[in-house]
Amino acid sequence: MKYTVIIPAAGMGSRMHMNYNKVFIRLGDTPVIRMTVEKFEKDPDCEAIHLAGRKGEIDILWGMLEGCAKVKGIHEGGRERQHSIHNVLKAMEPTGYVFVHDGARPFVSQATLDGLKASVALHQAAICGVKPKDTLKRISGDAVEETIDRTSVIAVHTPQAFEYDLLMQAYRHAAENDLSVTDDSMMVEALGKRVHVTASTYDNIKITTEEDLKVAESIVKKGSE
Ligand SMILES: Nc1ccn([C@@H]2O[C@H](COP(=O)(O)OP(=O)(O)OP(=O)(O)O)[C@@H](O)[C@H]2O)c(=O)n1
Ligand SMILES: O=P(O)(O)OC[C@@H](O)[C@@H](O)[C@@H](O)CO
Protein backbone atom coordinates (compact mmCIF):
# COMPACT_ATOMS: atom_id res chain seq x y z
CA MET A 1 0.00 0.00 0.00
CA LYS A 2 1.59 3.28 -1.14
CA TYR A 3 0.79 6.65 0.39
CA THR A 4 1.66 10.34 0.52
CA VAL A 5 2.23 12.03 3.88
CA ILE A 6 1.28 15.59 4.81
CA ILE A 7 3.41 17.02 7.61
CA PRO A 8 2.15 20.30 9.13
CA ALA A 9 5.09 22.35 10.44
CA ALA A 10 3.59 25.85 10.24
CA GLY A 11 2.86 26.38 13.93
CA MET A 12 4.33 28.95 16.31
CA GLY A 13 5.32 26.54 19.07
CA SER A 14 3.96 29.11 21.52
CA ARG A 15 3.64 26.62 24.43
CA MET A 16 7.39 25.93 24.10
CA HIS A 17 8.15 29.57 25.00
CA MET A 18 11.08 29.91 22.63
CA ASN A 19 11.40 32.69 20.13
CA TYR A 20 11.36 30.32 17.18
CA ASN A 21 9.29 27.46 15.75
CA LYS A 22 9.72 24.33 17.96
CA VAL A 23 10.16 22.05 14.91
CA PHE A 24 13.53 23.76 14.36
CA ILE A 25 14.84 22.67 17.79
CA ARG A 26 17.81 20.31 17.46
CA LEU A 27 17.81 16.99 19.31
CA GLY A 28 21.49 16.14 19.24
CA ASP A 29 22.51 17.54 15.86
CA THR A 30 19.25 17.01 14.03
CA PRO A 31 16.28 19.39 13.83
CA VAL A 32 12.99 17.87 15.04
CA ILE A 33 11.40 18.39 11.60
CA ARG A 34 14.20 16.48 9.87
CA MET A 35 13.88 13.58 12.33
CA THR A 36 10.15 13.45 11.59
CA VAL A 37 10.62 13.58 7.81
CA GLU A 38 13.32 10.88 7.95
CA LYS A 39 10.80 8.39 9.41
CA PHE A 40 8.90 8.64 6.12
CA GLU A 41 12.02 8.79 3.94
CA LYS A 42 12.81 5.34 5.40
CA ASP A 43 9.38 3.78 4.87
CA PRO A 44 9.45 2.19 1.39
CA ASP A 45 5.65 2.59 1.07
CA CYS A 46 5.79 6.36 1.47
CA GLU A 47 5.99 7.82 -2.04
CA ALA A 48 5.87 11.56 -1.40
CA ILE A 49 6.14 14.03 1.48
CA HIS A 50 4.42 17.44 1.49
CA LEU A 51 4.88 19.93 4.32
CA ALA A 52 3.16 23.08 5.47
CA GLY A 53 5.52 25.83 6.58
CA ARG A 54 5.05 29.36 7.86
CA LYS A 55 5.47 32.13 5.29
CA GLY A 56 9.07 33.26 5.80
CA GLU A 57 10.21 29.82 7.06
CA ILE A 58 9.82 27.83 3.86
CA ASP A 59 13.42 28.35 2.72
CA ILE A 60 14.66 27.41 6.21
CA LEU A 61 12.68 24.17 5.97
CA TRP A 62 14.09 23.34 2.51
CA GLY A 63 17.57 23.91 3.98
CA MET A 64 16.93 21.62 6.96
CA LEU A 65 15.53 18.92 4.66
CA GLU A 66 18.36 18.96 2.13
CA GLY A 67 18.83 15.49 0.63
CA CYS A 68 15.35 14.27 1.66
CA ALA A 69 14.44 13.02 -1.79
CA LYS A 70 10.75 12.33 -1.15
CA VAL A 71 9.94 15.92 -0.15
CA LYS A 72 7.94 17.17 -3.14
CA GLY A 73 6.52 20.40 -1.79
CA ILE A 74 6.56 22.83 1.14
CA HIS A 75 3.38 24.89 1.05
CA GLU A 76 2.32 27.98 2.97
CA GLY A 77 0.42 27.09 6.13
CA GLY A 78 -2.67 28.76 7.58
CA ARG A 79 -4.01 30.18 10.86
CA GLU A 80 -4.64 26.82 12.56
CA ARG A 81 -3.26 23.32 11.99
CA GLN A 82 -6.39 22.35 10.04
CA HIS A 83 -5.95 25.32 7.65
CA SER A 84 -2.31 24.38 7.05
CA ILE A 85 -3.29 20.82 6.15
CA HIS A 86 -6.15 21.98 3.92
CA ASN A 87 -3.73 24.25 2.02
CA VAL A 88 -1.46 21.27 1.37
CA LEU A 89 -4.36 19.03 0.32
CA LYS A 90 -5.46 21.65 -2.23
CA ALA A 91 -1.91 22.12 -3.55
CA MET A 92 -0.80 18.49 -3.94
CA GLU A 93 -1.60 15.96 -6.67
CA PRO A 94 -4.59 13.68 -5.97
CA THR A 95 -3.46 10.27 -4.75
CA GLY A 96 -4.78 7.01 -3.25
CA TYR A 97 -3.97 7.24 0.45
CA VAL A 98 -2.87 10.17 2.62
CA PHE A 99 -1.25 10.09 6.05
CA VAL A 100 -1.24 13.26 8.17
CA HIS A 101 1.53 13.48 10.75
CA ASP A 102 2.54 16.31 13.09
CA GLY A 103 5.95 17.80 12.34
CA ALA A 104 6.47 17.82 16.11
CA ARG A 105 6.22 14.00 16.50
CA PRO A 106 9.69 12.72 15.56
CA PHE A 107 9.47 9.26 17.16
CA VAL A 108 6.75 7.41 15.23
CA SER A 109 7.70 3.74 14.85
CA GLN A 110 7.74 1.65 11.67
CA ALA A 111 5.32 -0.76 13.37
CA THR A 112 2.84 2.10 13.88
CA LEU A 113 3.13 3.03 10.18
CA ASP A 114 2.65 -0.60 9.15
CA GLY A 115 -0.42 -0.99 11.39
CA LEU A 116 -2.01 2.12 9.91
CA LYS A 117 -1.34 0.96 6.34
CA ALA A 118 -3.06 -2.37 6.98
CA SER A 119 -6.03 -0.71 8.69
CA VAL A 120 -6.63 2.11 6.20
CA ALA A 121 -6.52 -0.32 3.29
CA LEU A 122 -9.41 -2.20 4.93
CA HIS A 123 -11.39 0.65 6.49
CA GLN A 124 -10.62 3.90 4.55
CA ALA A 125 -9.89 5.77 7.81
CA ALA A 126 -7.46 4.78 10.58
CA ILE A 127 -5.89 6.55 13.53
CA CYS A 128 -3.44 5.40 16.19
CA GLY A 129 -3.18 5.94 19.91
CA VAL A 130 -2.18 4.55 23.30
CA LYS A 131 -4.11 3.48 26.39
CA PRO A 132 -4.11 6.12 29.15
CA LYS A 133 -2.05 5.03 32.17
CA ASP A 134 -3.76 7.35 34.66
CA THR A 135 -7.24 7.22 36.15
CA LEU A 136 -9.42 9.62 34.18
CA LYS A 137 -12.20 11.80 35.60
CA ARG A 138 -14.66 14.24 34.12
CA ILE A 139 -14.64 17.45 36.16
CA SER A 140 -16.60 20.65 36.48
CA GLY A 141 -14.43 23.43 37.87
CA ASP A 142 -12.51 21.74 40.69
CA ALA A 143 -15.15 19.08 41.41
CA VAL A 144 -15.24 15.52 40.13
CA GLU A 145 -18.36 14.69 38.15
CA GLU A 146 -17.50 11.08 37.31
CA THR A 147 -14.70 8.60 36.79
CA ILE A 148 -14.35 7.62 33.14
CA ASP A 149 -14.01 3.95 32.21
CA ARG A 150 -10.48 4.16 30.84
CA THR A 151 -10.81 0.91 28.92
CA SER A 152 -13.16 2.83 26.60
CA VAL A 153 -10.79 5.71 25.74
CA ILE A 154 -7.41 6.21 24.06
CA ALA A 155 -4.97 9.10 23.83
CA VAL A 156 -4.83 9.81 20.11
CA HIS A 157 -1.59 10.35 18.21
CA THR A 158 -0.65 10.90 14.60
CA PRO A 159 -0.17 9.62 11.90
CA GLN A 160 -3.80 9.47 10.90
CA ALA A 161 -4.45 7.68 7.60
CA PHE A 162 -7.26 8.14 5.10
CA GLU A 163 -8.33 7.49 1.56
CA TYR A 164 -7.51 10.71 -0.26
CA ASP A 165 -11.07 11.27 -1.58
CA LEU A 166 -12.55 10.79 1.90
CA LEU A 167 -10.11 13.22 3.51
CA MET A 168 -10.73 15.83 0.79
CA GLN A 169 -14.47 15.49 1.32
CA ALA A 170 -14.01 15.78 5.10
CA TYR A 171 -11.89 18.93 4.80
CA ARG A 172 -14.37 20.54 2.35
CA HIS A 173 -17.26 19.69 4.69
CA ALA A 174 -15.38 21.12 7.69
CA ALA A 175 -14.56 24.35 5.83
CA GLU A 176 -18.16 24.79 4.62
CA ASN A 177 -19.52 24.18 8.13
CA ASP A 178 -16.83 26.15 9.95
CA LEU A 179 -15.86 23.13 12.09
CA SER A 180 -12.98 23.68 14.47
CA VAL A 181 -11.11 20.44 15.18
CA THR A 182 -8.00 19.24 16.99
CA ASP A 183 -7.31 16.28 14.73
CA ASP A 184 -8.12 15.12 11.20
CA SER A 185 -10.23 12.22 12.36
CA MET A 186 -12.80 14.63 13.86
CA MET A 187 -13.58 15.89 10.36
CA VAL A 188 -14.06 12.38 9.01
CA GLU A 189 -16.18 11.48 12.07
CA ALA A 190 -18.32 14.56 11.27
CA LEU A 191 -19.23 12.91 7.94
CA GLY A 192 -20.63 9.95 9.90
CA LYS A 193 -17.77 7.70 8.75
CA ARG A 194 -16.40 5.03 11.13
CA VAL A 195 -12.71 5.55 11.94
CA HIS A 196 -10.64 2.54 13.04
CA VAL A 197 -7.96 2.57 15.75
CA THR A 198 -4.52 0.92 15.75
CA ALA A 199 -1.64 0.89 18.24
CA SER A 200 0.85 3.72 18.64
CA THR A 201 3.77 3.77 21.10
CA TYR A 202 4.32 5.85 24.25
CA ASP A 203 7.48 7.21 22.59
CA ASN A 204 5.41 8.86 19.85
CA ILE A 205 5.08 12.10 21.83
CA LYS A 206 4.15 15.47 20.41
CA ILE A 207 6.85 17.91 21.46
CA THR A 208 4.67 20.65 22.93
CA THR A 209 6.12 22.08 26.17
CA GLU A 210 9.59 22.44 27.66
CA GLU A 211 9.39 19.25 29.72
CA ASP A 212 8.77 17.29 26.50
CA LEU A 213 12.28 18.23 25.37
CA LYS A 214 13.83 16.30 28.28
CA VAL A 215 11.73 13.27 27.41
CA ALA A 216 12.67 13.67 23.73
CA GLU A 217 16.37 13.80 24.56
CA SER A 218 16.09 10.62 26.61
CA ILE A 219 14.26 8.86 23.75
CA VAL A 220 17.04 9.92 21.35
CA LYS A 221 19.62 8.55 23.78
CA LYS A 222 17.95 5.16 24.26
CA GLY A 223 16.61 4.94 20.66
CA SER A 224 12.86 5.05 19.97
CA GLU A 225 10.72 1.87 19.77
N1 LIG B 1 -1.25 26.95 12.04
C2 LIG B 1 -0.60 25.81 12.29
C3 LIG B 1 -0.50 25.29 13.61
C4 LIG B 1 0.19 24.11 13.83
N5 LIG B 1 0.78 23.48 12.78
C6 LIG B 1 1.56 22.25 13.02
O7 LIG B 1 0.75 21.25 13.60
C8 LIG B 1 1.54 20.39 14.44
C9 LIG B 1 0.87 20.14 15.79
O10 LIG B 1 0.48 21.38 16.37
P11 LIG B 1 0.95 21.95 17.78
O12 LIG B 1 1.68 20.97 18.56
O13 LIG B 1 -0.23 22.63 18.38
O14 LIG B 1 2.04 23.03 17.30
P15 LIG B 1 2.07 24.60 17.44
O16 LIG B 1 0.79 25.19 16.93
O17 LIG B 1 3.35 25.02 16.80
O18 LIG B 1 2.17 24.80 19.02
P19 LIG B 1 1.45 25.86 19.93
O20 LIG B 1 -0.03 25.52 19.88
O21 LIG B 1 2.07 25.65 21.28
O22 LIG B 1 1.74 27.23 19.36
C23 LIG B 1 2.90 21.07 14.60
O24 LIG B 1 3.86 20.30 13.90
C25 LIG B 1 2.71 22.45 14.02
O26 LIG B 1 3.85 22.97 13.37
C27 LIG B 1 0.65 23.97 11.49
O28 LIG B 1 1.16 23.39 10.55
N29 LIG B 1 -0.05 25.13 11.27
O1 LIG C 1 -4.52 20.74 20.17
P2 LIG C 1 -3.05 20.82 19.86
O3 LIG C 1 -2.72 22.09 19.11
O4 LIG C 1 -2.16 20.60 21.04
O5 LIG C 1 -2.70 19.60 18.90
C6 LIG C 1 -3.55 19.21 17.90
C7 LIG C 1 -3.11 17.92 17.23
O8 LIG C 1 -1.80 18.03 16.79
C9 LIG C 1 -3.31 16.69 18.06
O10 LIG C 1 -4.65 16.62 18.46
C11 LIG C 1 -2.95 15.45 17.27
O12 LIG C 1 -1.55 15.35 17.29
C13 LIG C 1 -3.56 14.19 17.83
O14 LIG C 1 -3.27 14.08 19.21
Percentage with pLDDT > 90 across the chain: 98
Residue 223: per-residue pLDDT: 86
Residue 192: per-residue pLDDT: 97
Does 13 sit in the ligand 1 pocket, CB within 6 Å?
A: yes
Reference 120, options 195, 193, 187; nearest CA is 195
Does 52 sit in the ligand 1 pocket, CB within 6 Å?
A: yes
Task: Check: CB of residue 53 under 8 Å from CB of residue 17.
Answer: no
Q: How many Cα atoms occupy the beta-carbon half-sphere of 220 within 13 Å?
A: 18
Is 75 exposed, middle or buried, given 0-12, 13-18 or 19+ CB atoms closer than 10 A? buried
The Cβ of residue 175 has, within 10 Å, a number of other Cβ atoms equal to 13
Strand-pairing partners, residue 136, are: 148
| Total count of domains within the chain | 1
Reference 159, options 12, 43, 66; nearest CA is 43
Domain containing residue 7: 3-222
Q: Is the pTM of this model over 0.95?
A: yes
Query: Ligand 1 centroid vs 94 CA: distance in angstroms?
Result: 24
What is the spatial distance between Cα 199 and Cα 204, in angstroms, rounded to a whole number?
11
Residue 29: per-residue pLDDT: 93
Strand-pairing partners, residue 86, are: none
pLDDT greater than 80 at residue 129? yes
pLDDT greater than 80 at residue 76? yes
The CATH number of residue 46's host domain is 3.90.550.10
At 220, give phi and psi (nearest 5°). -60, -45
Task: Check: CB of residue 185 under 8 Å from CB of residue 168.
Answer: no
Q: Which atom of ligand 1 is nearest to the CA of 85?
A: 28
At 170, give phi and psi (nearest 5°). -65, -40
| pLDDT tens string 82-95 | 999 999 999 999 99
| pLDDT tens string 204-225 | 999 999 999 999 999 999 887 7
Q: Which of 17, 54, 81 to mutate to test the pocket of ligand 1 (most atoms within 8 A of CB)?
A: 81
Residue 181: per-residue pLDDT: 97
Query: Ligand 1 centroid vs 119 CA: distance in angstroms?
Result: 26
Q: Which of 12, 57, 58, 160 to mutate to test the pocket of ligand 1 (most atoms within 8 A of CB)?
A: 12
Residue 225: per-residue pLDDT: 76
pLDDT greater than 80 at residue 195? yes
What is the spatial distance between Cα 182 and Cα 194, in angstroms, rounded to a whole number?
18
